[in-house]
Amino acid sequence: MKRRSFIQRSLALAAAPMMLNGIPIRSMASSLSTQAFTCEEIADRVLVLVQLHGGNDGLNTIVPIDQFSTYATLRPNIGLPDTGSRRVINLDATLPLADQVGLHPEMTAIKSLYDQGLVNVIQGVSYPNNNKSHFKAKDDWMTGSDNTLNHDSGWVGRYLDYRYPNFPSGYPNAQLPDPLGLELGSNSISLGFHQDNGTAMGLALSGDPGTFFNLVSGVGGLPPSSLPASHYGTRLRYVMDIEANGNAYAQRINSVYALGTNASSVTYPTVYPGTTNKNELAPQLQTVARLISGGSKTRVYLVRLTGFDTHVAQTDTTDPTIGTHAVLLHHLSEAVKAFQDDLVAQGLEDRVMTATFSEFGRRAAENGSTGTDHGTLAPMIIFGKGVSGGVTGTNVDLSNLNGNNLQGLQNDYRQVFTTLLQDWLGASSTALQHTQFGSFVNQQLQLVNSNYTATATCYQMPFPIGLKYFTATPVKGGNAVQLDWGSSSEYNNKGFTIERSADGEEFDPIAEVEGAGTKHTASAYQLLDHEPITGKSYYRLKQTDFNGTFTYFDTVEVLIEKKLETVVEVYPNPTDASAKIDYRMTGNERPELQVRDNLGRLIHHTLLPISKDLQTHPLDVSEWAPGLYFIRISDEEDAKTVKLVVR
C-alpha cells in the first residue's frame, strides 16, 4: 500500500487505561457501595458496534406475532412460517401479545442469550425523513444526523474528541497506548470516527493484527531531518505525526493481540453448515475478544457483516426459511453467541456491550424477485451482561403503511446511542452536547441494567492531562535528579504532586507544582530533586483536579551509581612550614582555591585541576605570619571552607 493511501485510510488514534501498577487512574470521593460497579470499572468499559451493511430486513428478523396473518399476506413467498420445525421462534411468550415477536429460525443462539437476560430487542428504530439511500443513510447513522442535517464528523469521533481532547498531539502515551476506536473488516476508517477537524479518532484494521503491523512497518522511509517554516512544513509535520502514531499503534496492537487469547472452550463459527459460505463476522469478534483479553484499552470497536441489500433472492423460492438472509442471520446469531461465551469464559463480560445497527429496514411487502426493497424502520439488538433484557417498544402496525413503507417511528437511533454513551460509557450531559446528541439528553431508553447504569457520580470529564512525556535524569554528578514532563492539553488541572520511592511500591511526596487549569496548548514543566536516593529509585506523577479527584500517570526509574560528596581537608593542622589540601568537588568546572587571613584579606588564589577523584594540593605557608587562615574551595556546584592555624 502506498504511503498516501495508508495515511488517508488509517488516521490513527489512541484507549484509556484505568489501572496502572495496581493504582486506580481516577479515584472518586463519593461512596458507590450501593452500586454493582466502581467508577474505575465504568472507565474500562467497551462498546462494540455491529454494522449490518446493506439494510437489514427487520420484518423477517423480528416477526410481529400478533399480526401474523397480515404479515403472511404481505409476504406470500418470503414470509416465515408459524408452524413446523422451521417456524419462527417465539422470543418471549410472557410478554403482552402486542409485544411478542418471532425470531427467524436461524437465530436460535440469540434466543439462548435472550433467555439468559443478555438481549434487548429495540423495536421501530429509524429517524425522521430517512430517504432510503444507502449512501445518505449510512452517513446519517455514522454522523448522528437525519436527512435534514449534515455533519462532516462522526458521533463516535465527537464523543472521543471530548473525552480525549487535542488528538493526535501527545498520543499514544503511557496512559492511552491503544487506538480509542478500532474498526475491523475495512481498509478505511468510517466517517463515524472522525472529529470536527477531519482527523479520525480511530484506526482501521482490515486483516489480522500481525498483517497490519507488517503493512504499517513498511510504510514510507526515513522522515526528513528538518521541515520548512511554512504551511507546507506544518502540514507535513501533521502527516509525519499521523504516520508515527500509526506505527506506534501497529506495534501496540500486535503486542496486545499476542498477549491475548480466546477461551479454549469456545469455538467460533467458520461457515454456514453444509456450505462453504464463510462467516465474516465471527473472526472480527474473535479478534476483538482477544484484544480485550490482551489488555487493549480501546473504547469503541466497529465490526461489520455485509450482504443485507436483499433485493433479489432474499429467500429460497421453495423454502422461505433458507437463502441469503437466513445465512446472514445465522452468521450474526452464532458469531455474537460465540463472542459472548468467550467474554464470559474469560471473565470479561462485565466490560463489554454490543449493539447492531443497519442503515434502514426493508419495505413491508415483498417485491417480485423474492426479495425486499429499501424501507424505513428496523429493529436494533443489544447484547451483554449489562443489558436490561427484554423488548423495548411494541410491534409495528402492519396495517398502517405509507405506500409500502412501515410507519410509526418509536425509537430514534440517536436515543439508543445516547443511552449507550451515558448509561454504559458514563458520558456526561456536556459530553452528549459535544457529541451533538444534546436534544436526546434525558430521553434515554431502559437498555442498561440498573445494576450497571452509570450515575452522575461517575460521569467522565475529558481526560485531565494529555501527557506527552515524563522523564528523570541524574545531573550534577549524581547529586540531583532533573524531572521533566509536558502535556498537550489540560482540563481542570489544579496541579501535580511528584512522588519518590526507593522500591517502586511505597511513594512519598517530595514537591508540588501548580497546573495550568484548562489549556488547549502544550505546557512544559521541570523540577530538580536535590536529595535523590542513591542506587535505583522511582518517581511518579500525580495530577489533581480542582474538584479533588486525582490521576496517577507514569512511573519512571532512575539509577544513581554513586552519590559524590564534596571533600576539603587540610593537614597537618597546625603547621609552621607547609600543608596539604585534599579535595574532591562534584562540578564540571575547575575549582577555585582562596586563602584569607582573619581580617578577610586574600593571601593566596589559584584554579585547581578538575577531578571527581580525591586530589592533593600542596600549600607553602613558610612565609605566612602566625595566625588563623580560612581555606575555601568552590565550583559551580558547591563550596566548602576549612580553618588552618599557622604557628
* pLDDT tens-digit series, residues 16-59: 333 322 223 223 223 333 456 778 789 899 999 999 999 999 99
Instruction: Give the pLDDT confidence score for residue 29 in this predicted structure.
Output: 28
Cell numbers describing residue 337: 453467541
User: Is a pLDDT exceeding 60 seen at residue 241?
Assistant: no
Instruction: Give the pLDDT confidence score for residue 223 in this predicted structure.
Output: 45
**CATH architecture, range 465-560:** Sandwich (2.60)
Do β-strands 300-306 and 181-184 pair in parallel, antiparallel, or remain unpaired? parallel
Q: What is the pLDDT of residues 90-99, one digit of tens each?
A: 999 999 999 9
Q: What is the pLDDT of residues 476-534, one digit of tens each?
A: 767 889 999 998 778 889 999 999 999 988 999 999 999 999 887 889 999 999 989 98
Sign of the C-alpha dihedral, residues 591, 597, 598, 599? negative
Q: What is the CA 175 to chain-centroid distance, rounded?
A: 9
Q: Which of 47-51, 193-197, 552-556, 584-588 has the highest mean pLDDT?
A: 47-51
More confident residue, 205 or 84: 84
* Alpha helices (runs of H) in 362-504, residue ranges in sequence order: 413-419, 429-435
Q: Give the 3-state DSSP-derived string for 292-341, with helices as H, strands as E and coil as C.
A: HHCCCCCCEEEEEEECCCCCCCCCCCCCCCCCHHHHHHHHHHHHHHHHHH
Q: Give the 3-state DSSP-derived string for 373-413, with helices as H, strands as E and coil as C.
A: CECCCEEEEEECCCECCEEECCCCCCCCEECCEECCCCEEH
CB count within 10 Å of CB 244 equals 14
The backbone torsions φ and ψ at residue 301, rounded to the nearest 5 degrees and listed phi first, read: -115, 145
> Residue 607: which residues within 8 A CB-CB, separation 6 or more?
590, 591, 592, 593
The fraction of the chain above a pLDDT of 90, given in percent, is 64
CA distance 382 to 354: 6
C-beta separation of 82 from 68 below 8 A: yes
Instruction: Give the pLDDT confidence score for residue 224 in this predicted structure.
Output: 47
Cell numbers describing residue 124: 421501530
Between 108-115 and 324-345, two packed helices, what is the crossing angle to 10 degrees? 40
Among the listed residues 429, 408, 407, 406, the one whose alpha carbon sits nearest the alpha carbon of residue 418: 429
Q: What is the pLDDT of residues 436-456, one digit of tens each?
A: 999 999 899 999 999 999 988
CA distance 386 to 351: 8
User: Is a pLDDT exceeding 70 seen at residue 237?
Assistant: no
C-beta separation of 298 from 15 below 8 A: yes
Q: What is the pLDDT of residues 246-302, one digit of tens each?
A: 567 888 888 999 999 999 999 999 999 999 999 999 999 999 999 999 999 999 999
Class of domain 567-646 as given by CATH: mainly beta
Mean pLDDT of the chain: 86
Q: Is 217 helix (H, G, I), strand (E, B) or coil?
A: helix
**All structural domains of the chain with their residue ranges:** 3-18+26-458, 465-560, 567-646
The backbone torsions φ and ψ at residue 431, rounded to the nearest 5 degrees and listed phi first, read: -60, -40
User: Is a pLDDT exceeding 60 seen at residue 76?
Assistant: yes
Across the range 340-365, mean pLDDT stands at: 98
Sign of the C-alpha dihedral, residues 503, 509, 510, 513? positive
CA distance 329 to 52: 10
C-beta separation of 308 from 362 below 8 A: no
Residue in the structure block whose three cell numbers are 461465551: 341
Instruction: Give the pLDDT confidence score for residue 487 in this predicted structure.
Output: 86
The backbone torsions φ and ψ at residue 517, rounded to the nearest 5 degrees and listed phi first, read: 75, -115
Beta bridge partners of 381: 121
Cα distances (angstroms) measured from residue 305 to each of 161, 208, 316, 394 = 27, 17, 20, 26
Instruction: Give the pLDDT confidence score for residue 554 in this predicted structure.
Output: 72
Q: How confident is the model at residue 584 (pLDDT cuts 50, 70, 90)?
A: confident
C-beta separation of 16 from 299 below 8 A: yes
User: Is a pLDDT exceeding 90 seen at residue 85?
Assistant: yes
C-beta separation of 331 from 286 below 8 A: no
Among the listed residues 338, 380, 332, the one whose alpha carbon sits nearest the alpha carbon of residue 356: 380
Question: Which DSSP letter does residue 278 get?
Answer: B
Question: Which DSSP letter does residue 598 get?
Answer: T
More confident residue, 185 or 125: 125
Instruction: Give the pLDDT confidence score for residue 19 in this predicted structure.
Output: 31
User: Is a pLDDT exceeding 90 seen at residue 535?
Assistant: no
263 sits in the region (left: phi over 0; alpha: psi -120 to 50; else beta) called beta
> H or E stretch including 125?
strand 119-126
- In the chain, what is the straight-line distance between the N-terminal and C-terminal CA atoms, in Å? 88
Across the range 335-344, mean pLDDT stands at: 98
465-560 with 567-646: one CATH topology?
yes
User: Is a pLDDT exceeding 50 seen at residue 215?
Assistant: no
Across the range 561-570, mean pLDDT stands at: 78
Cα distances (angstroms) measured from residue 73 to each of 68, 311, 388, 448 = 9, 19, 34, 37
User: Is a pLDDT exceeding 90 seen at residue 391?
Assistant: yes
Q: What is the pLDDT of residues 309-323, one digit of tens each?
A: 999 999 999 999 999
The fraction of the chain above a pLDDT of 70, given in percent, is 87
Q: What is the CA 140 to chain-centroid distance, rounded?
A: 24
Cα distances (angstroms) measured from residue 571 to each of 312, 361, 502, 591 = 106, 98, 38, 19
Peptide bond into 168 cis (omega under 30): yes
